[in-house]
Structure 1
């Protein structure tokens, strides 16, 4: 695995900051960063590493593994890098949704956009002052894309 650029790290940190700030007040679950391992399949094991994720307290209580998450988080955020291909990202989308992830965000620091997927085929591309649509599992959370890349 190659290391992340400073731009990647800053984007990851900014998204986590906004989520964590909201969750400090609303106590809905946990935000995790730093290539958190999530089981995609078992026997043989297949793992994906999320840049940022949100998992509710309810789902977190169901986790049994001491290593990687064996329960899907509600949200996975992938910060795109120049080496990411659409084929690889489409595969990640399919895997995340297949295990029960409810939303996947692709944050692209190069063009300062955020693509919000609610399924493999349904997404909205946001930029600038556009705000995230309502999120059922994060009621009241709002964020302008420009706040991520400021």
Structure 2
């Protein structure tokens, strides 16, 4: 009964264009959601490969960031409020915010107000090309400096620095994030294991 009630609440929010505050207070129904221009979108739980690759990248990044006191690394559950009226709240698989920006904004309740400096998305089997490109555009348009798309099937890292500035790296290449995360480099092969 409670699950049907929760779903009813969620469906009602979708009909009326949801706001970030409503997303933040949704009842837990076991799913994750993003808010895209007021539309609530359900995200399926990550599969084995997706989760392993996201963790492989994030622990390497987090270790480097912590050792060098560069800022903070965030997990997939973290929402970033990218736009208002209509609201867009996205949650990348991995995110990084620089120490400078953290100090400027201070401690924040709820969703981070703005885009991370780095957003990493791992392509899931059910993701369409259009969905992935929409996420990349949303991140870049909101001010993310570096968006990385990790594709487990192709074992590639597609690096977006601005709209149209794209490079595709294969397993023998090194992913250099030094312009956004000072000194961070990782072999693409290492990420995919």
- TM-score, normalised via structure 1 length: 0.92
Give the structure 2 partner of residue 20 of structure 1: 62
Distance 1:88 1:59 in 2: 28
Question: Does 106-115 or 5-14 show the bigger shift?
Answer: 106-115
User: How many angstroms does 1:38 deviate by?
Assistant: 0.9
- TM-score, normalised via structure 2 length: 0.73
Q: Which runs of 5+ in 1 are unaligned?
A: none
User: How many angstroms does 1:128 deviate by?
Assistant: 1.3
Q: Indicate conservation of the 8 Å contact 1:60/1:71, yes or no.
A: no
CA 1:115–1:50: 2 relative to 1, 3 Å: same
C-alpha RMSD over aligned residues? 1.5
Q: Which has the greater radius of gyration?
A: 2
User: How many angstroms does 1:63 deviate by?
Assistant: 5.2
Work out the number of aligned pairs and report it: 150
Deviations 1:95-130 (A, max 9, x none): 111111000000011121111110121111111121
Q: Which of structure 1's runs of 4+ aligned residues deviate more than 3 A?
A: none
Matched, 1:48 2:90: yes
Q: Which runs of 5+ in 2 are unaligned?
A: 1-42
Matched, 1:115 2:158: yes
Give the structure 1 partner of residue 181 of structure 2: 138
CA 1:90–1:36: 2 relative to 1, 3 Å: same
Q: Indicate conservation of the 8 Å contact 2:66/2:72, yes or no.
A: no
Give the structure 2 partner of residue 67 of structure 1: 110
| Structure with more of its chain in helix, by fraction | 2
